[in-house]
Structures are given as C-alpha cells and as structure tokens.
Chains A and B, each alone.
Chain A
C-alpha cells in the first residue's frame, strides 16, 4: 500500500504542473488584464501605468511570470554585495521603466509556499484566503456530514423498500433536486423559510453587531440551516441514488441469500451484511465530494451572504486578481488529486478483495 501511495504521488507531480501551467496561461491570455481596470483614470501617464505593471509583475513575458509564480524571483534579481541594492538579475530586468534600479526579488514561489500577493488587496494571498476559510469549512463539513449521512440512509431505505412508495418518491425527489440549479433552490429556501415563514434569518453568518467576530457555531445554528441544507441536498440526492443501486446490487449476491436462508432476521441481513458491503463504492465519492463543495460554496455563499472563499474567488475573477485565482486553482487541483487518492486508499482499506501492488 505504501509503495502504491508513493507511486501515485509521484504520478501526481506532472499532473499538478500540467494543471498549473494550463490554468496560468489560460488566465493570463484572457482579454482585459488587471492593469486596465486598476489604472482607469483620466490623467494616468504611460509611465504610471508601466509602474503598475512592474509592481504587479505583469510586464514580463508570460513564461517568466509563470516561473516567478512557481519558483519565486528572489533568485531572479538579487543583491550580491549586501548593500541592499539589486546588482544582479536573470530573466527579469534589473531596472524599471525610468532606469531606476528595482529592489531585489522577494517572492519565493508556490513551491516554497508563497502564493504571492493579491493584486487588488495588496496582501499575501494565503492571508486573504485563510481569513475566509472558516466560513467555507463550517458550511462544507456540515453539509458533507449531513448530506452524506442522509444520502446513505435514504439510499438504503429506498433499496429496502424497493419498488414501494418510499423508493418511488425518493427517486423522483433525488432527480428533481439534482436537476434544480443550486442558486434557484437557495433562493426558494430563502423565500419560503426566511422571508415568508420567518423561521430562519435572511442570510448572513451571524447577527450584525459591534463585535470582533461571530459567536461559536452552537450559538448561531439558525444561520447555518438554510445554506447547509442547500449544499447538502445535492449530496443527499446523489449519494442516495448510488447507495440504492449499490444496495440492490449487494442484496442480489449469494451470501445475502445464504444469510436469509440461515434464518437471520431481515434487519440483520440488510444492515449488517448488506449495507456494510454496499458502502464500499460510496467511498470513491468522498474525495471528489470534498473538492466539489468548493464549487457549490461559490453560489451558496453569495446567495446566503455567507462569508467564505467562494465569494472571494468570484470577486478575484472579476478583478483579474491572478494570484488569488491561481491559489484557488492550485487548491482545487491538489484537492482533486488527493481526493481521488484518498478514495482509492479507502477502497483498499474497506474492501479486503482489493490489494494494491
């Protein structure tokens, strides 16, 4: 297993670089760069605009920009004699648009954990994202746990009640909730349960007060109900269908028939022998589901006014804030790679028939 994991990780390296290379170039060649909007003023001179371009690092060729983002620029322009002034440079220029000597490079690149600074917020990207992570994590984890649990239960019960009314209803509902766009469902939830019935707050993460932060989760659960429901319903509908199919497949196996023949009661057969084995394919969904939550969060956070990474990504794309967009792309790429690896490992651990060599 260890060798398998190492091999998979090594295989993931070129995939990772492929993702970053493709994403970076696609983003950078998109018309309408970050400088145009930032410098849209009536009296900006070409020199002012060039200074902005140098500061943002978008004046260099695309390949150099990518290398800087990946490996940093502290080795591209540096101070060799220790007087604080740059005196050596490779790949990039030692001087600025007006001939002034530019300061030594201070980027370390994502390889060394430096995701750069946000163009629009002028702060380290990681700081910007980490600040917003709690909102996304609390929604994501809660919806995954609730959605996964209910999805499995509904799937099992649908299989147990195969071709009965529960099975029919849940199947129809699963298709409906899978088909309804997330934003529309979220708006309907707000309209019915917040605006009309007044059972839950109209968005937000907590009550707006003069405080330094939101109170602990257990004091503001009412704010989480609708966004979590909105995210979880997709998981419930997807997982319940897979679980139902898996259960129906398992219960047609010989060992289940044997268990029945041995006189075990139906509950024991279904849940002890059937469900445990039917869960195995579900493990493959776990990894990708974690990644998928970020995609759902983008819409859910906006509609429920829930502060998180999703909303930040939307803003960053609009502002052509390359460092933030790339950081999230890297996160999504790594999470996808690791998610699938995790699924494969879980598969091996749960199912003794599967052995990785």
Chain B
C-alpha cells in the first residue's frame, strides 16, 4: 500500500467516522421541535375547561397557563415579578405618586399563533369579561372587581390599571388578569355570557406561549405542540416535540409508570418519597427536594358553633358571636399546642420529611418572622394551662371536666370534634395521632375524616369545632392573600375564609397598614406582618402543624434538568429547552 493509498484510506475512514458521528452529535441538541415529548402525569380529573376566566381547578390551569401569555413575567432567580421577565408581556411599568395607577408597557415581540400581535386590546377584553356579571368567572377574578377600578388601553402597547386603594399587592392582582386573543374570542362569544356554556372552552385554536394546543383526549391526555413564535425560548427555539399531560388515576400506578420510563417527571407521593430519594441519591434519577410544601393547619372555632354569626354588622361594627365552650379560651388552645408532639407526627404522617410550622407564614417568605419558634412539646405545661383555665379531671376517667372554667357550664367535658377530608392519608394519620396526643392531657377528641364537599360546607358554615385542612401557598408568596383569613370582614357564615371567627383589632390594623404602606418597602412590611404572626402564634386561632418536604423526580436522560428553587415551577421553568430522547 503506497503512501497515497494510506492517506486516502485514512481519509475515507475519517470521513466515515465523521458521517457516522453526525447523528450522534445531532442528537445532543435536536432542532426545533425535534426532541422527545415531555410526559407529565395528571393525578386528578380531566381538565374541565381551557377558559382561564372560568377555570377553577388546578388541572385546567396547568394547561391553559401554558397556552396564554402572563401579563407579568417572574424573575425565576428571585421569584418575583420583573420588567421584561421571560413569559411575561410587560416590559416595564410605572406607578403614580398616590400608588393608585399602574402604567404597564407591553413588549412588541409577542404574537398570537395566527400571526396577530398581542396588544393592550387583548388585556382590555379580559377586563371586560371579568367585570361582566353575566359571566361566571372564577373567585380569583371576582376578587379583582373589588380591587381594580378601571383598565384602559391608551395605545396598543400600553395598559393602565387604576386600583381602588393604594395596594402593595397591586402587581399580584394585575398578574391575575389572563390574556386571551380578543379578536378570536369576540367572534367565538358574541355575548360574553356565551362562554359560560360553550364547547369552545375545550379548545384553544389561537394561543401564544411555549406551546400550542393540539388535542384533548378525554380521560387520556391533553397534548400540546411547540409554538416556535415564543419569544423567550431558552435555547432560541422550543426543543421538545410536544408536551403531554397524561391522566394517571392511581398514585401507585403513577410511580410504577415513572419507574418504567413512561413519565418524564413527577411529584412523588409521600409514601414513596424515601424510596425515590434513595434512587435519586444513587444516581438512577434526577430529583429536587422543595420546602414549598402544603402546610397542614387545624382551625379552632372560637365562636359558638351552634349559632354562627358574621363578624361584622352592616355598618361594619363587631358583632357579639358567643364563645366556643371549649376552644374559646386561649389557654386551652395553647395547651393543645404544648401537647402536640411534632416528632411523632413527622414519623407517623410525614415519613420523616416534615417541617414544623411556627406560624401561618411560609418559612422562605420575605414576610416570615424568623424569631417565632414553634411551641415545644411540653405536656406538663399543657396540663398546667388546662388546670389554670378550670379544666380538671375530677372523676379520674382521663377526660377533664369544667370545674370553674370561664367558657362552659360546670361539668362540661373537655371534648371536641376534629374533622378533616377523607382520602388524604397524611391528614388522616395526623388526625389519629393528634387525637391520641391530646387525649394524653385530658382532651376527648372525636376525630373524623369526611367527604371534602361536606367538610367545606361545615367549615364555611362555621358549625365545626376544629377542622384540619391544608393550605397551598400561592406563588409568588403573598402574605396578604393568606392573612385575610384573620380579618373580621371575612367572618361570614357560608362563605368567609375567617371561619374560626378570629378578631383582633391590632391584627386588622397591622394587615391594613402592611397592605397599603406608602412605598411598599419590603422590610417595613415584613415587620408589620411579623407582628401579626407573633400575635397569631400567641393567640392560636389555628394550630400551625407544619408540612412535608416534597420531592420531584425526573428521568436521568433529561438534558436541561436545572431546578430553580424560587421559580414558580422550580423544575419545569425551562421545559422548553429540555432534550429528551425521541421514543
């Protein structure tokens, strides 16, 4: 073989290797819409609607939020709204001196999937729908009717929102307004009320976002495909060929399907958390642990449950509501706290992943008061408080009776009913353990897990003694959104969130001040909210049990898995750039 032949041979082999290698390198970064699809489990019912105005369930909003642009984008690093942030329409905003008028400038690079630009007319249309009382918009949007006095669109790129009062949560309120293609929706719904009942609500022919709507297969899946017009794609284009929200009705099957590679990523059910965490630590899967948990609280009815009354009369004056015979005494409520052993609760209900709560505020919130510590487990102190409150066990049967208590007749047993929703295994476990722990200090707790609908009716109807529910904190964490639970105006039997009938003038004052603080300085607001938390900790209208860390796992082959703890969706914030093998 002469030299030329050798060179030629080497050249041919090199060329062959290069040609053969091309597909391998090409697979590392597929072209637009050429990566494998993302398959997420939907553990719940089908979507009920893709209409953001009517949507009341999390399943539906998971889908429609991917189809329509947000008015305000979130900075994923800090977890708060930022001008020009990815996924948002607004490039900048200004606030009037009186704090009432917010002027938003819209970006000009957003277009609907039919090529029409996204403009202020689309935002204006949304506001028209929200204020139309003939449309059965969801409760989040109904709230806006009281907070916003007008929305105007002086030009195509400007939206002016005027609030009723100076409001430090104005951005949250503005961000709640959905944006839909007005030119399409006006045609689909000549009267706004037509959307109350329309098959159009299960389609989305014109959208704007990372994904476009492809189909809804009842009982099976919702399928979205990339919208390459999306201006904020991480990789410059959308990589996956689609996004599938697949119904999986059973959590055991969900986990097994994930382990079998049928799901791309999923939140892990609590009872399998340790097993999956071990697999993640062993490098078999990728994972992300979050403390942004659903916190379990026990609401204690402070008023007479046999005669529920609103907190305020028509003139706004406080109404005498009567007192709960057992839970109306703050010492009894504090005794419940001292008698609660979180270690046991953590082992028995949270599988060791629990986070004890000291207050209603989420620990990673800017408004959280870090000086407040949870009540220690101190059954002796609990017993002391009960004795002090006039509850003693005179007949030695283990249950205390009223012997000089201030809220009930002599001889009344120290007993109450604790309710929670059936089907939530951790809450059922918590209830059973609490029943036992409180029984140790002389309470007789009748614990029942009941149907969710019945629980809601009993809770809002204010006919309960104690109710255990969980709160999923909204995002971004809005301390005001959750503290309205303690305002007397929300103490309305049948509807109000302040179903425990809590009333404290100082708390009301602090909440009002924090919400309307001129300049909305976060530190100043945090101090005000911190004082609220301290009072609520001491007065204990609720028992802040705590929550459990959550684990999200993903298949090991996902390229681009890069969780951001502060993002609205810590693991999926960059799903548009995920590289997944094509099945």
Q: Which positions in A face B, CB cutoff 8 Å?
A: 31-34, 36-46, 48-49, 51-52, 55, 117, 120-123, 127-128, 131-132, 135, 187, 190, 194-195, 202-205, 207-214, 301-305, 307-308, 311-312, 315, 318-320
* Smallest CB gap from A42: residue in B: B497
Known: A32-B454, A213-B217, A318-B452. A122 touches B460 (CB 8 A): no
Cβ A38 vs Cβ B56 within 8 A:
yes
Q: Given A31-B457, A46-B495, A307-B219, list of 7 further CB < 8 A pairs?
A: A40-B139, A46-B494, A132-B219, A135-B219, A208-B221, A210-B214, A210-B223
- Residues on B facing A (Cβ under 8 Å): 37, 39, 45-46, 48-49, 54, 56-57, 133, 136, 138-140, 142-143, 146, 196-197, 199, 201-202, 214-215, 217-221, 223, 225, 241-242, 244, 246-250, 252-253, 256-257, 260, 262, 451-457, 460, 481, 484-485, 490, 492, 494-495, 497, 583
Of A117, A301, A308, A312, which contacts B197 at CB under 8 A? A117
Once A132-B219, A208-B39, A305-B250 are accepted as A-B contacts, the answer to whether A37 and B453 lie under 8 Å apart by CB is yes
B45 and A203 form a contact (CB under 8 A): no
Q: Which residue on B lies nearest to A302, using beta carbons?
A: B249
Contacting residues, chain A, for B492 (C-beta < 8 A): 46
Select one of A40, A43, A209, A214 contacting B460, CB under 8 A: A40
- Given A37-B456, A40-B456, A208-B262, residue A131 in contact with residue B242 (CB < 8 A): no
Chain A: minimal CB distance from B474 (Å): 10
Partner of B45, one of A48, A205, A210, A319: A319
Q: CB-CB < 8 A to B246: which residues of A?
A: 208
CB <8 Å contact, B253 and A123: no
**What are the residues of chain B within 8 A of A214 when measuring CB–CB?**
220
Give the Cβ gap from A211 to chain B, nearest Cβ, in Å.
Answer: 8
Residue from B46, B252, B460 within 8 A of A121 (CB atoms): B46
| B453 A320 Cβ-Cβ under 8 A | yes
CA distance A50 to B225 in the complex (A): 40
User: Measured between alpha carbons, how far is A60 from B217 in the docked complex, in Å?
Assistant: 35
Residue of B nearest to A304 (CB): B253
Question: A residues within 8 A CB of B253?
Answer: 190, 202-203, 303-305
Task: Output the nearest chain A residue to B201 by Cβ-Cβ distance.
Answer: A122
Compute how far the CA of A46 lies from the CA of B39 in the bound complex, rounded to whole angstroms: 41
- What separation, in Å, do the CA atoms of A194 and B455 have in the docked complex? 38
Bound complex: CA A45 to CA B260 (Å): 48
Task: Give the complex CA separation of A48 and B460 in angstroms.
Answer: 15
Quick check: A305 and B142 within 8 Å, CB to CB? Answer: no
Return the contact of B241 from the options A187, A195, A210 (Cβ within 8 A).
A210
User: Which residues on the B side are within 8 Å of A195 (C-beta)?
Assistant: 256, 260
Known contacts A302-B249, A307-B219; A42/B136 CB under 8 A: no
Tell me, in angstroms, the Cα distance from A37 to B48 when the chains sit together: 14
Closest chain B residue to A31 by CB distance?
A: B454
Q: Are B453's CB and A48's CB within 8 A?
A: no
Given contacts A302-B249, A305-B250, contact A210 B495 (CB under 8 A): no
A153 to chain B, nearest CB (A): 32
B262 touches A202 (CB 8 A): yes
Most buried by B among A52, A117, A307: A307
Complex Cα distance A294/B567, Å?
A: 44
Contacts of B451 in A (CB 8 A): 31-32
**Contacts A32-B455, A44-B142, A48-B142 given; does A123 touch B219 at CB 8 Å:** no
Asked if A131 and B452 make an inter-chain contact with CB atoms under 8 angstroms apart, the answer reads: no
CB distance from B263 to the nearest CB of A (A): 9
A320 to B455 alpha-carbon distance, docked (Å): 13
CA distance A48 to B135 in the complex (A): 11
User: Does the CB pair B247–A305 fall under 8 Å?
Assistant: yes
Interface centre among A127, A203, A208 (most CB of B within 10 A): A208
B-side contacts of A194, CB under 8 Å: 256
CB pair A122–B49 under 8 Å, yes or no, is yes
Q: Which of B49, B202, B225 lies in contact with A210, CB distance below 8 A?
A: B225
CA distance A187 to B253 in the complex (A): 9
Nearest opposing residue in chain B for A39, CB measure = B139
Whole-angstrom CA separation of A212 from B213 in the bound complex: 12
Residue of A nearest to B216 (CB): A131
Residue from A34, A213, A301, A305 within 8 A of B453 (CB atoms)? A34
Which chain B residues lie closer than 8 Å to A320 at the CB level? Answer: 453
* 17 residue pairs A–B, Cβ–Cβ below 8 Å: A32-B454, A32-B457, A36-B453, A42-B481, A49-B495, A117-B197, A122-B197, A128-B218, A190-B256, A202-B253, A202-B262, A212-B215, A212-B217, A305-B247, A305-B248, A307-B219, A307-B220
- Option from A38, A117, A202 in Cβ contact (under 8 Å) with B260: A202
Cα separation A132 to B249 with both chains bound (whole Å):
15
Instruction: Name the residue on A nearest B49 (C-beta).
Output: A122
- Chain A: minimal CB distance from B174 (Å): 16
B residues near A208, Cβ cutoff 8 Å:
39, 221, 244, 246, 262
Could you tell me the distance between the alpha carbons of A42 and B495 in the complex, rounded to whole angstroms? 8
Contacting residue for A39 out of B57, B199, B225, B495, CB 8 A = B495
A120 touches which of B45, B260, B452, B485 (Cβ 8 Å) = B45
Residues in B with CB closer than 8 Å to A32 are 451-457
Are A41 and B142 in touch, CB under 8 angstroms?
Answer: yes
**How far, in Å, is A188 (CB) from chain B's closest CB?**
12
Tell me the minimal C-beta distance from B388 to chain A in angstroms: 35
A209 contact set on B, CB distance < 8 A = 37, 583
Q: Which residues on the A side are within 8 Å of B201 (C-beta)? A: 122-123
Query: What's the nearest-Cβ distance from chain A to residue B137, in Å?
Result: 9
Tell me the minimal C-beta distance from B548 to chain A in angstroms: 23
Cα distance A269–B253 when bound, in Å? Answer: 49
| A43 touching B247, Cβ below 8 Å | no
Which chain A residues border B460 with CB–CB below 8 Å?
Answer: 36, 40
Q: How far is the CA of A46 from the CA of B489 in the complex (A)?
A: 13
Contact between A120 and B48 (Cβ–Cβ < 8 Å)? yes
Q: Evaluate whether A43 and B262 lie within 8 angstroms (CB atoms) in the complex, with A210-B242, A320-B453 already known.
A: no
Which of chain B's residues has its CB closest to A135's CB? Answer: B219
Pick the most buried of A40, A128, A315: most chain B CB atoms within 10 A of its CB.
Answer: A40
Is B202's CB under 8 angstroms from A123's CB?
yes
Q: How far is the CA of A60 from the CA of B450 in the complex (A)?
A: 27
